[in-house]
């Protein structure tokens, strides 16, 4: 899945992401940044993520332009 960080508190490691498909707010799992290149995230940052068994966002990572469906990327010139 992909979305945009809505909020993040590095002290408590809590926050949420807005899912692109339906703009649903998904809570970040406590381990969302574990094993990630991210040390913290900021509001508005685009991410790709998985959902854990409780429906929380986990395994945050950067996506490629193709993953993010960036308009115009890979378009025929």
Report the top-level CATH class of 2-68. mainly beta
Range of lowest pLDDT (12-16, 35-39, 40-44, 50-54): 35-39
pLDDT in the model for residue 39: 83
Please state the pTM of the whole predicted model.
0.78
Q: Where are the domains of the chain?
A: 2-68
List, edge to edge, every strand of the sheet that includes 46-51: 25-27, 14-19, 2-9, 46-51, 57-61
């Amino acid at each position: 899945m992909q979305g945009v960080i809505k909020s993040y508190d590095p002290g408590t490691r809590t926050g949420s992401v807005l899912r692109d498909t339906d703009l649903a707010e998904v809570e970040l799992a406590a381990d969302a940044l574990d094993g990630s290149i991210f040390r913290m995230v900021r509001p508005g940052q685009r991410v790709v993520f998985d959902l854990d068994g409780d429906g929380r966002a986990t395994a945050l990572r950067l996506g490629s332009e193709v993953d993010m469906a960036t308009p115009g990327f890979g378009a025929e010139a």
